[in-house]
């Protein structure tokens, strides 16, 4: 089913949003942000044209955590990455969706490096453009992401961009993928999130849950993601207060521990784990931990062994997944997993899925795995594209926090929100404050994403957005 096309035109927009609650991860506390929206028009070899779309937050202090850069400069980096990807693709001629990514990967990465943009920043621009073009290809053929990908509409094949997979059968892997119709929502507990009402000086009082106690009672999550801050004593105390809430759940729970690059080395992260094990209040929580995510700063994460920590719990890379071969490097150091994020690229996720399959087959086990993580995906196209990807990867739970920290479709026109609700009545629910992501018994019903395009046929109201400014990077 694969097809070749050229990129004819792109349009770039963005719009601001405000969080209903502050969210702290790593070195930054977020209270507001901007979402980037990309439209791409492609032309198939038979002359057919189609538009596609993608959307993602312009996230500060995640792709590049250099404290010398302001949030505005971080946003400019991401805008520039999108410009570089577009420039490389517009003059490339006809290619498959995967070919556009793979054949330009090295050039885009080099161009980004020449402007002091790291590989993770570079991947953001490529990811948005690739998703918009793939969405257009799917719409041109009138098929869903799940149907199209299983027929290898993107033309995914062996390529020098992933030399370790030279003998892998991508077509067979894709054909065998069975998308999940329901996913567990793994709720993130940020570093400033209130655990109980006693932690709050003031309340938002918008009728939605605010404290961990309220979230647990109302959404009934079975999966949680717990942030730690790099101070062992403070982390153990906070985790103990979190455990006092989660331990009340009658059906048990599972959790991941997110280090967010807060530790200088693996020994520091191991010291936290030892301290957690020594704390009686954390006995049940320690048993619940499925894996530890990116505990070491990326500058050292891929040049230090993880064997001692990995012997306790599997360790995954997230922020260190910059170069496309980062998971290969991580494997040799003792990492067992890698995150999937739509903001890092659909093709990257499938390449890493192939690695898990190949390595597990090689070793005769199931050691290597992918996790589904979130970068505050917002309601509408953004969250639907990521959920469609996670479902086809076969990952049963996904970190979701956009619905909690951003109030539904806040910042978007009311009519747009209700159009998405009407198209996806099980994914969203109507509330007194308007449509928002529906989490029932801790789960998301995503069957309606079987629709022409990459998880969404509807498009947002572009008139309610501003044109994306030129990057003007380096500043």
| Other CB atoms within 10 A of residue 16 CB | 12
Answer yes or no: are the C-beta atoms of 116 and 23 closer than 8 Å. no
Report the C-alpha gap between 448 and 197 in whole angstroms.
Answer: 37
CATH of the domain spanning 5-163, picked from 3.30.390.10, 3.40.50.300, 3.30.1330.10, 3.40.720.10: 3.30.390.10
For residue 201, the SS3 value is coil
Residue 126 CA to its chain's centroid (Å): 14
Report the C-alpha gap between 259 and 227 in whole angstroms.
Answer: 6
The DSSP string of 287-334 is HHEEEEE--B-HHHHTSS--HHHHTTS-EEESTT--STTHHHHHHHHT
Token pair in block for residue 386: 């990521």
Residues 6+ away with beta carbon under 8 Å from 79: 12, 36, 58, 468, 469, 470, 471, 473
CA atoms within 13 A on the CB side of 267: 0
Q: What is the pLDDT of residue 370?
A: 98
Q: What is the pLDDT of residue 27?
A: 67
Report the C-alpha gap between 365 and 54 in whole angstroms.
Answer: 36
Token pair in block for residue 294: 């990116």
Helix, strand, coil shares, percent, the chain, to 5: 40, 20, 40
- The mean pLDDT value for 71-83 works out to 96
> Which sequence spans correspond to the domains of the chain?
5-163, 182-454
Choose among 130, 98, 95: nearest CA to 354: 98
For residue 396, the SS3 value is coil
Higher pLDDT, 98 or 408: 98
**What are the two backbone dihedrals, phi and then psi, of residue 8, each rounded to the nearest 5 degrees?**
-95, -40
For residue 93, the SS3 value is coil
Answer yes or no: are the C-beta atoms of 266 and 309 closer than 8 Å. yes
CA atoms within 13 A on the CB side of 356: 23
Report the C-alpha gap between 374 and 187 in whole angstroms.
Answer: 10
Answer yes or no: are the C-beta atoms of 216 and 245 closer than 8 Å. yes
| Other CB atoms within 10 A of residue 66 CB | 12
Strands 337-340 and 443-445, sheet pairing: unpaired
Burial class (CB in 10 A: 0-12, 13-18, 19+), 91: exposed
Report the C-alpha gap between 347 and 104 in whole angstroms.
Answer: 13
Percentage of the chain exceeding pLDDT 70: 99
**What are the two backbone dihedrals, phi and then psi, of residue 259, each rounded to the nearest 5 degrees?**
-80, -20
Higher pLDDT, 115 or 250: 115
Q: What is the pLDDT of residue 23?
A: 81
For residue 335, the SS3 value is coil
Higher pLDDT, 62 or 285: 285
Report the C-alpha gap between 339 and 293 in whole angstroms.
Answer: 9
Topology of domain 182-454 in CATH is: TIM Barrel (3.20.20)
Choose among 125, 96, 109: nearest CA to 161: 109
Report the C-alpha gap between 449 and 391 in whole angstroms.
Answer: 10
Answer yes or no: are the C-beta atoms of 321 and 339 closer than 8 Å. yes
pLDDT digits (tens, 9 = 90+) for 255-301: 999 998 999 899 999 999 999 999 999 999 999 999 999 999 998 99
DSSP, res 282: G
In this structure, of 22-26, 42-46, 155-159, the range with the lowest mean pLDDT score is 22-26
Q: What is the pLDDT of residue 475?
A: 52
Judge if pTM exceeds 0.85: yes
Q: What is the pLDDT of residue 473?
A: 79
pLDDT digits (tens, 9 = 90+) for 326-367: 999 999 999 999 999 999 999 999 999 999 999 999 999 999
Report the C-alpha gap between 191 and 199 in whole angstroms.
Answer: 12
pLDDT digits (tens, 9 = 90+) for 185-201: 999 998 889 999 999 98
Residues 6+ away with beta carbon under 8 Å from 72: none
Answer yes or no: are the C-beta atoms of 226 and 256 closer than 8 Å. yes
SS3 readout for 20-56: EEEEEECCEEEEEEEEEEEEEEEEECCCCEEEEEEEE
- The mean pLDDT value for 215-236 works out to 95
pLDDT digits (tens, 9 = 90+) for 374-427: 878 999 999 999 999 999 999 999 999 888 888 899 899 999 999 999 999 999
Given a cut of 70, is residue 26 above it in pLDDT?
A: no
| Other CB atoms within 10 A of residue 362 CB | 9
Token look-up 């920043």 returns 121
């Amino acid at each position: 089913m694969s097809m070749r096309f050229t990129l004819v035109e792109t349009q770039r927009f963005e719009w601001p949003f405000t969080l209903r609650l502050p969210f702290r991860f790593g070195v930054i506390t977020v209270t507001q942000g901007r979402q980037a929206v990309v439209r791409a028009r492609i032309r198939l070899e038979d002359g057919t044209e189609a538009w596609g779309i993608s959307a993602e937050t312009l996230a500060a202090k995640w792709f590049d955590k250099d404290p010398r850069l302001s949030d505005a400069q971080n946003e400019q980096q991401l805008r520039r990455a999108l410009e570089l990807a577009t420039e490389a693709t517009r003059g490339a001629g006809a290619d498959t969706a995967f070919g556009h990514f793979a054949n330009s990967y090295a050039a885009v990465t080099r161009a980004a490096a020449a402007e002091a943009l790291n590989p993770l920043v570079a991947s953001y621009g490529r990811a948005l453009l690739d998703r918009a073009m793939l969405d257009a290809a799917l719409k041109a053929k009138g098929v869903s992401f799940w149907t199209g990908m299983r027929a290898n509409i993107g033309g995914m094949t062996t390529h020098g961009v992933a030399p370790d997979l030279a003998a892998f059968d991508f077509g067979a892997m894709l054909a065998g993928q069975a998308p999940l119709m329901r996913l567990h929502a793994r709720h993130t507990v940020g570093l400033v999130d209130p655990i109980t009402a006693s932690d709050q000086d003031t309340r938002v009082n918008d009728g939605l849950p605010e404290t961990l106690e309220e979230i647990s009672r109302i959404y009934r999550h079975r999966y949680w993601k717990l942030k730690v801050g790099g101070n062992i004593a403070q982390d153990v105390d906070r985790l103990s207060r979190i455990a006092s809430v989660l331990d009340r759940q009658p059906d048990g729970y599972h959790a991941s521990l997110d280090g967010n690059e807060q530790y200088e080395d693996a020994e520091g992260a191991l010291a936290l784990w030892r301290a957690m094990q020594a704390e009686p209040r954390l006995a049940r929580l320690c048993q619940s931990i499925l894996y530890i995510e990116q505990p070491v700063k990326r500058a050292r994460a891929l040049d230090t062994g993880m064997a001692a920590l990995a012997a306790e719990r599997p360790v995954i890379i997230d922020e260190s997944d910059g170069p496309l071969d980062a998971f290969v490097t991580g494997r040799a150091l003792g990492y067992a997993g890698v995150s999937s994020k739509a903001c890092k690229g659909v093709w990257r996720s499938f390449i890493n899925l192939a690695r898990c399959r190949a390595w597990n087959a090689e070793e005769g086990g199931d050691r290597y795995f992918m996790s589904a993580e979130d970068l505050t995906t917002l309601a509408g196209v953004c969250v639907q594209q990521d959920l469609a990807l996670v479902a086809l990867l076969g990952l049963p739970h996904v970190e979701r926090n956009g619905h909690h920290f951003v109030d539904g479709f806040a910042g978007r026109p009311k009519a747009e929100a209700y159009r998405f609700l009407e198209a996806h009545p099980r994914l969203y629910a109507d509330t007194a404050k308007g449509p928002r992501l529906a989490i029932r018994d801790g789960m998301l019903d995503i069957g309606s994403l079987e629709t022409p395009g990459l998880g969404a046929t509807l498009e947002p109201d572009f008139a309610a957005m501003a044109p994306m400014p030129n990057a003007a990077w380096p500043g």
